[in-house]
Each structure stands twice: as structure tokens, then as C-alpha cells.
Structure 1
Amino acid sequence: MSSQDGTASLSGKRILITGGAGFIGSNIAEELVADNDIRILDNFSSGSRSNVPDEATVIDGDIRTDDDLDRATEDVDVIFHQAALISVEKSMRAPELTHEINVTATVKLLERAREESARLVFASSAAVYGQPESVPISENASTHPTSPYGVSKLAAEEYIQLYVDQYNLDAVILRYFNVYGPGQIDSDYSAVIGIFVEQALNGEEITVEGDGSQTRDFVHVRDIVQANLLAASSDVTGVYNVGTGESVSILELAETVREVASSGSDIVHAAARDGDIDQSRADISKIQSALDFQPTVTLRNGLETIVPSADSKSE
């Protein structure tokens, strides 16, 4: 990944990335490892060791375990808290486990961040909004999460804000919209892209649930990394959406995937999924103003980063 705005002031730092072997965490590590002392805490329940840069120090541990957290946070300057149970479906089956990993462990980490006077950048989610009343969705929109995952992210946000207000913690919250990119296939962050790409490459029917008119704001992991670095190297606090500020319908996504993959797959429709959010698009004016964040990757160009041999294809 090429260097992004925000890296200049993140040099010579001791940086902890929880979940650093995962999709987003490993991309942050790759960006920063050349100029910083990178420490990764991961239990490898979903992340892969192959994602971790060789230069990073790996702590094979659990964010719920005090001893592992003590080792991971000792003398750190910056913490990127990416570790979480991210599957909405799994959270519906295991709400208590979701709370334990996403809320209780976050409070433990907040205590360490306070003790170390470390700046914390927290990975939250647009799932906190639930079914939006209107789009684009601003940070002050109503929050009515529809899954234990969404509730857990909102609860963690409230704890972080409490620590900022009451304990002077240096922290910022980033609400990711639908993240995708290399290594994302089979990830819960934006599973529909992974499914469509796999179907297109295998010549299978690309299956769209419902009529395909539902919209999403798909943001490439390169832009997510940019937002994290800008947040870490600033002194802002509060909550910021991270998306593109644009939306695409699921049907249009299927058509674009088919084109980028040079696939002859037919697009077919299946029954709509119960409780599926109809429209989603981030209002990113706040992060643009506060951090000078500008998304740089178009959907088509982003898809070309995950479709094999796409870099040899012309647009």
C-alpha cells in the first residue's frame, strides 16, 4: 500500500494494533511498520499469521485476558483497536460472547490506554445506526442498532466517550461503513462483494437478494487506513463516519463485479433477506472538515484490487 496522508507524524512510535492479523488491522500494520515499532495482539481466531508484517512483534493472546493486555500495552504511544467479534450473524447467536469481546474487553483496554497515556483509535461501525431514517447518515443521526454486534459497538463508543470526558483519555471513534479490499473475501465486513467476486470468477450465477435496489456505501480498505492514520496523528476526539459519501445499488455492484471480472455470469434474484437495511450512505463532511479526509478509491478501481489479474485489464 502506498503511503497515505497522516503517516508523517506517525514515525518512531510504539504502536499496538489489536486484531492486527485481521483484514483492516494488517493493512494498518503494513502501512506503519517501516517507520514505527509495531506490536500486534491477536488470538488468530479469524486473522492469519500470513497477514502480519515480518517486522512486527506478535503477541499471540486475547484482548479479554489481563496478562495479554498488560504485555501488549506496555509503553505504547498509540493503540488502533480493531479486534472484535464482527459477524452480525454470530452476534445474533451469541450476544453474551459478543458483549464480552466487544464491550468488556474494550473497557479493559481503555484502562490500559489511560495508564499509558496512549492515543486510542477505535473501529466502530455504521451498524450502530440500524435502519436509518434518511440518507446520507450523519454522526448525530438516531442510533437504533438491530443486532447485538451493533449494540456492542455503540456501548463501546459510550465507554470511550466517558473515558474522554471523565478521565481525559485521548481517543477518537471511527464508524466504518461497508469496507472491502484485498484479503476481504469471506470477511464479514462486506461479504456481498466477496460472494459476487467468487461467483463471477467461477462462472456461477451472481445472486442478488431482493430486487437489488438497496444501496450501500462501499469504502476501500486503503481509505480506511488513511482515516485511521489521520485520526491517530491528530488531536481530535469524538465520532466520525468513514465512507465515500456515495452509494451504489446492489444490482449495480453485481453488474460492475461482472464487468471487472470479465465474467459471463448471469445475474439472478433471490428472496430478500429479512431485516435487510434498505438505504445506506455516509455523510463524511465531519471527517473531511476535521481531518481533511478524502476518499481516493472508486468502486471500480477498488474492485480491480481484489479480482485476480484485474491490474492488467483496462477500464
Structure 2
Amino acid sequence: MTKRVLVTGTCGFIGRYTARRFHDADYYVIGIGHGNCTQDDMLQWGIDEWHVSDVTMDALKVYAGDCEAIVHCAGSGSVGFSLQEPMKDFERTVLTTHYVLEYIRLYSPQTKLIYPSSAAVYGNQSVLPLREDMVPNPISPYGVHKKIVEELCKMYASQYRVNVAILRLFSVYGEGLRKQLLWDACQKLSEGKNVFWGTGEETRDWVHAEDVAQMMLCAMKHASEECPIVNVAGGEAVRIDDVLSCLFEAYGRKDAPYFGGQVNVGNPNHYAADIKSAQEWGWKPRIEIADGIQRYVRWYLNEGQGCISAGIK
């Protein structure tokens, strides 16, 4: 029998990469969510079945039957949005995941849940690298909501024997991402601008979406009633000014980024992950940040600008 997986938020950035990785591993991929998913998109991203739908109990009862796993990529993906719309962020993140957990409990106890959480649950910590056993200290609604979901997952795993794996994603990037630092930087460069928030000394731990998707697949073997939590990152703190300098070079610019010093509310200044647990699962990041930035700039120059002129988001 063909293995089946349901990927929620399939038209989203991480959802697309996840769908393609599972398809390449011979899974029949069912996608639900919102967005314009054409036949070409389905072929490109390995989506075998696509349904426009909210993530609700009724939708899960219709589309998630006989699935080996649900990879719940739907939900809010922005600290900024959570600051502006905290209730909507709660609904998209917490309520949708509660539906998934309750669906598994009531109707499909053999189905595993792979949940992409976020490094935002850590908040500001005094010690780096960040380890999974640290006490969460989120500083944004986005991080708080991710922490609530993690607690729900642990409760359903311990009380109802739902098999769960939680992946704390750090700075995910890759071709097709139309928000956050790399996208904003490319847009500014296309307009001849070079001024950025912060000081440039802030650090992030970057991981390409292809590596994240591989970890989603790897987590299938480890989802359990123990509800393991692992960091998914490159395992290296990289300064923002180094990232942008690399991007400027790939873009063909001879100048350097300038930083205005404004504080980016809701985001810690420094991130670096301990990825030993993920490595013990047999996973490691394969795409170096310099190579990933070059790939991103090529995508932007060849396709991303066209998306802007066509009004595509």
C-alpha cells in the first residue's frame, strides 16, 4: 500500500519543500491549506492531492484518513504579524494544532505528528548555544504561541499516547522565500538601497529549507509518546553583516551594507543552536550558508523580481 502523508500549509514556503521531500521518498502527498496551487505547482513540489481548506476537524476527517503522518506546516510564520495581530496568530498557530492533535486522538491514533516549532520559544538566553533542555523564555506572541503548542503536544503524547516529534527551526531560508532578511535585502538592492535595521552584529543560525525538509522526513522514525524535541539549524552563529556582505557580493554589488541601529522588536539579538540531538538522529545540514545565499540570489534575479512585477506574493 502506498504510504500517505498529509502536509498542512502545503503552499507555504516550508510546506512546499516538505511535500517534495516526502514525494521523493515515495509518499503519496495530500496537501491542504490556502493559496493558488496550480497543476504545474503540484508537479514541481510533489503534491499528489491538493485541497483548499482551513485546518479544522471536519477537513481532517475528510482528507487525513489512512495517513502515516501529518506534518503540520500551516500556521503563522512571522514575529511581526504576531505583534500586530496576536489573536489571529494564536488562532493560526495554537487552534489549528489542537485540531490536529484531537483528530489523531479521536480518529487516527496510529498517525504521527511532525510539528515544526521555532527557536523563538527560547527568547533571550544568557548562554549559547541554545539547547533543547533550556527553559523557554519567549519574548514575542509568536514565541509564546509556539511554546503553548509544544506543551499541547507533550500533553497529548503523555496522556493519549499520540506519537509526536517537535522540530525547533532556526533561521530557515531558501529559494522561493518572499519575506525576511534575504528577500528584503534583494528588494533593497534592486532599488539601489543599502540601509538595514540593527547593528549588523546580531547573529542568526541559518538552515536551508531543503535540509529542514530532510529533517521532517527523518523525524518520522523518532515521533513517539516521549515527544522528542530537537533543534534544526546549521549549528553556527553567523553575523548579519557577514550574511549581507555575502549577498551583496553574489548580487554583484561593490558597496557594503549600512546599519541604522534600530532595534528589531520581538527578536533576540543572538541565536546559535546546539544540534547534537539532531545529529544523533542521523541528520546534518548539507547546504552551506554561502552556497545557499548564492542560490537565493540567482533565484531572485531569475524569478523573484518577476514575481514582484506580476504582483505574486
Q: TM-score, normalising length from structure 1?
A: 0.87
- Aligned twin of 1:40: 31
The reply to whether residue 248 of structure 1 matches residue 230 of structure 2 is no
Answer yes or no: is 1:150 the counterpart of 2:143: yes
Is structure 2 residue 44 aligned with structure 1 residue 56? Answer: no
What's the RMSD between the two structures over aligned residues?
2.2
2:108 is equivalent to residue 120 of structure 1: no
* 1:237-288 superposed Cα distances (whole Å, 9 cap, x missing partner): 3111100110111111111101122223442121322544221111101111
Number of aligned pairs? 293
SS in 1 for 2:297: coil
Equivalent in the alignment of 2:259: 269
Mean Cα deviation higher: 293-302 or 234-243: 234-243
Give the letter aligned to residue 127 of structure 1. Answer: A
Instruction: Name the counterpart of 1:208.
Output: 196
Structure 1 residues 163-215: Cα deviation after superposition (integer angstroms, max 9, x where no partner):
111111111000000000011122xxxx0111123333x26232232321110
- Asked if 1:283 corresponds to 2:283, the answer is no
Percent identity of equivalent pairs: 29
User: How far apart are the structure 2 equivalents of 1:61 and 1:309?
Assistant: 29
Distance in 1 of aligned mates of 2:220 and 2:19: 13
Shift of 1:94: 1.8
Q: Is the 8 A contact 1:204 1:266 kept in 2?
A: no
TM-score of the superposed pair, with normalisation by structure 2: 0.87
Amino acid at match of 1:175: R
Contact persistence 2:122–2:134 (CA under 8 A): yes
Q: 1:27 aligns with which of 10, 14, 17?
A: 17
Q: CA deviation at 1:305?
A: 1.7
Write the mapping of 1:151-230 to structure 2, written as runs, cut at 5 A.
151-186=144-179, 191-200=180-189, 202=190, 204-230=192-218
Secondary structure at 1:33's aligned position in 2?
helix
AA at the equivalent of 2:6: L
Deviation string for 1:51-95 (max 9, x for gaps)? 4436521111001x3322221222211110100111211211222
**Any conservation in 1 of the 2:30–2:47 contact (CA below 8 Å)?**
no
Is the helix fraction higher in 1 or 2? Answer: 2
Offset at residue 100 of structure 1 (A): 1.6
Cα distance between partner residues in 1 of 2:269 and 2:141: 19
Residues 51 and 149 (structure 1), Cα distance of their counterparts in 2 relative to 1, 3 Å cut: farther
> For residues 123 and 274 of structure 1, what CA distance do their matches in structure 2 show?
23
Q: Which runs of 5+ in 1 are unaligned?
A: 1-10
Q: CA deviation at 1:235?
A: 4.6
Runs of 4+ residues over 6 Å off in structure 1? none
SS in 1 for 2:88: helix
2:221 is aligned with 1:233 = yes
Give the match's secondary structure for 1:280: coil
The answer to whether the 8 Å contact 1:177/1:217 transfers is yes
1: CA distance between counterparts of 2:223 and 2:142? Answer: 28
Identify the range of structure 1 (153-162 vs 70-79) with the bigger mean alpha-carbon deviation: 70-79
